[in-house]
Amino acid sequence: MTTQLYLDSLQLTQHHNSVAQLNEIIAKHLATYSFSSINAMKADILSLDPEALIERLVLKKQGGYCFEQNKLAYLALQSLGYNVTPLLARVKLNNNPSNARTHRLTMVELAGERYLFDVGFGSKCPAGLIPISQSGMVTLNTHQYKVTVTEQNVEVALVEPELLVLYSADFIEILESDCNVAHFYSHQHPDSGFVQHLVLSRRLLGKCYTLRNLLFKEQVFSPQLSHERILQSGEELRTVIRDIFNITITSDDAERLFERAKRNMR
Q: What is the pLDDT of residue 222?
A: 81
Asked if 67 contacts 194 with a C-beta cutoff of 8 angstroms, the reply is: no
Q: Compute φ and ψ for 120, nearest 5 degrees.
A: -135, 30
Question: What is the distance between the alpha carbons of residues 236 and 230, in angstroms, rounded to a whole number?
Answer: 10
For 174-183, what is the mean pLDDT?
97
Q: What is the pLDDT of residue 141?
A: 86
Q: Which amino acid, 205?
A: L
Percentage of the chain modeled with pLDDT above 90: 91
pLDDT bin (cut points 50, 70, 90) of residue 223 is confident
Q: What is the pLDDT of residue 8?
A: 96
Cα-Cα-Cα-Cα torsion 147, 101, 86, 128, nearest 10 degrees, comes to: -40
Asked if 60 contacts 51 with a C-beta cutoff of 8 angstroms, the reply is: no
For 61-74, what is the mean pLDDT?
98
Q: Compute φ and ψ for 85, nearest 5 degrees.
A: -135, 130
| Sheet with strand 199-204: strands edge to edge | 35-36, 199-204, 207-212, 215-220, 225-230
Asked if 100 contacts 92 with a C-beta cutoff of 8 angstroms, the reply is: no
Calculate the average pLDDT of the chain: 96
pLDDT of 208 higher than 90: yes
Of the listed ranges 61-65, 96-100, 118-122, 231-235, the one predicted with least confidence: 96-100
pLDDT of 12 higher than 80: yes
pLDDT of 1 higher than 70: no
pLDDT of 235 higher than 80: yes
Question: What is the distance between the alpha carbons of residues 83 and 16, in angstroms, rounded to a whole number?
Answer: 12
CATH 3.90.1300.10 fits 193-264, yes or no: no
Q: What is the 3 state secondary structure string of the chain?
A: CCCHHHHHHHCCCCCCCCHHHHHHHHHHHHHHCCEECCHHHCCCCCCCCHHHHHHHHHHCCCCECHHHHHHHHHHHHHHCCCEEEEEEEEECCCCCCCCCEEEEEEEEEECCEEEEECCCCHHHCCCCCEECCCCEEEEECCEEEEEEECCCEEEEEEECCCEEEEEEEECCCCCHHHHHHHHHHHHHCCCCHHHHCCEEEEEECCEEEEEECCEEEEEECCCCEEEEEECCCHHHHHHHHHHCCCCCCCHHHHHHHHHHHHHHCC
Q: What is the pLDDT of residue 106?
A: 98
pLDDT of 72 higher than 80: yes
Query: Considering the entire predicted model, what is its pTM?
Result: 0.95
For 37-61, what is the mean pLDDT?
96
For 178-198, what is the mean pLDDT?
96
Q: What is the pLDDT of residue 135?
A: 97
For 98-108, what is the mean pLDDT?
96
Asked if 5 contacts 54 with a C-beta cutoff of 8 angstroms, the reply is: yes
Q: Which residues contact 175 (CB under 8 A, 6 or more apart)?
A: none
